[in-house]
Amino acid sequence: MQPRDLSATSPYVPGRGIEEVARDLGLDPDELIKLSSNENPHGSSPKAVDAVTDRAKEGLHVYPKAAHTDLTEKLADKWDVASEQIWVSPGADGAIDYLSRAMLDPGQSVLVPEPGFSYYSMSARHHHGEVSTYELSKDDGFSQTADLVLEAYDGERIVHLTSPHNPTGSEWTRAEITTLLEAVDDHTLVVVDEAYGEYSERPSSIELVDDYDNVAVLRTFSKAYGLAGLRIGYGVVPQAWADAYARVNTPFAANELACRAALAALDDDDHVDQSVETARWARDYLAENLDAPTFESAGNFVLADVGDASGVAERSQAEGVIIRDCSSFGLPGCVRISCGTREQTKTAVETLNGILAEVAPT
C-alpha cells in the first residue's frame, strides 16, 4: 500500500526554530536570535493573549461557530465588503486550498512566481492541478509587472501574485495589477497574496474585489499581528461567487482560540503600529549597514546577496543569529533576514558583517 505519486510536489521547507538549533548546537535557546521565519519580534498582540486565556478558562468544548461569525463580520466591516466575501481559514495557506478547491478541475493549471511560496504549487497539485511558473529576475531587483506574467501566461485557471513578495520584498503596483486583471482570459482568477500587506505603504488590492470578479486577496494574522502559532488567515473574494465558500470550507477549520485571538488583535492598533514601525526601521538599518548588497523590501525582512548563502547562514547560526538560507527558493547566493527588534537587528548586522569580512573574496 502506497500513497499516490507525489514526486512532483516539493515539500515546504520552513525556517529552523530556536529550540531545534539550540539542541543541535548545545546552546541555551535564550542565547539565540531567530531571524529566519519572518515572525513578529514583539510577539503576539497582548489583547489577543488575554482573549485566548479568557476563552480557554471558559471552556473549549463548543464548536467555534459564533467566533467564526464574529470574526467574519468584523473583517467585512474593516474592508467594507459583504460578510460572505470573507473566507476565514487556518492561515492564508488554508485560503489557498479553498480557492484551489473552488476553481481547479483536474488537469487545469496554475501560474506561480519563481522564486516564491512553495504552497501555491503544492495546493494545486494536491487538487490534481498542473503548475507553470513565471520567473522573477535578480538582475532587475525581482521587479513584478503584468508584462512579466503575461509572457508566461497560457490561459491558466489561477495566477498567483505575491505583494510584498517573499523572499525578495518586491511589490506590485495597483496599475500593474489592474492591467493584468484586464488582460487575462475570463476564466482566470488572479490571487494576490498580501501576507505582508501591513508592512507595505501601498493600498490593498482588496479595494479591487468590487470592481473585478476575477481577483481574490489573501491576508494573515501570522505576521504583523503575531499569531503565527494559531494559524488564522482569510481570503477576500468578489461577491459574485462568494457563496462557494460554504461548499469548499473545511468544517470549523479555524479554531475557537484562533478566531478569538484574531478578533482581539484587530482592536490592538498599538501593537500593529509598533510592529510595522520596527520593521520599517530594521529594513532601513539592514540596507544601510549590512556589508552586502540588499534588495528593496516592503515586508518584514530583507534579502541580501552574500555570495554563499549556505556558508554564511551556517556560520551565523553557529554564532547565535539564525537567518534563512534561500537556496530552497532557488537563490543559493542570498539569505533572508527577518526584521527583529532594534537590538536584535543591530546584533545581527554586527555578526553578519564579521562573517562577511572573513568570507569575502580577496
Is the pLDDT assigned to residue 199 strictly greater than 70? yes
Residues 207-233 have pLDDT tens digits of: 999 999 999 999 999 999 999 999 999
Name the pLDDT band for 362 (thresholds 50, 70, 90). Answer: very low
Sorted by where each starts, the structural domains of the chain and their CATH numbers stand as 18-44+269-359 (3.90.1150.10), 47-265 (3.40.640.10)
Secondary structure of residue 232 in the 3-state scheme: coil
Q: How far is residue 85's CA from residue 77's CA, in Å, rounded to a whole number?
A: 11
Q: How far is residue 55's CA from residue 255's CA, in Å, rounded to a whole number?
A: 12
Tell me what the pLDDT averaged over the chain comes to: 94
Residues 252-288 have pLDDT tens digits of: 899 999 999 999 999 999 999 999 999 999 999 999 9
Is the pLDDT assigned to residue 117 strictly greater than 80? yes
Residues 52-93 have pLDDT tens digits of: 999 999 989 989 999 999 999 999 999 999 999 999 999 999
Mean pLDDT, residues 325-344: 96
Phi-psi region of 80 (alpha: psi -120 to 50; beta: other; left: phi over 0): left
Is the pLDDT assigned to residue 21 strictly greater than 90? no
SS (H, E, C) 220-266: ECCCCCCCHHHCCEEEECCHHHHHHHHHHCCCCCCCHHHHHHHHHHC
Is the pLDDT assigned to residue 28 strictly greater than 80? no
Do the beta carbons of residue 159 and residue 184 sit within 8 Å?
Answer: yes
The residue count of the chain comes to 362
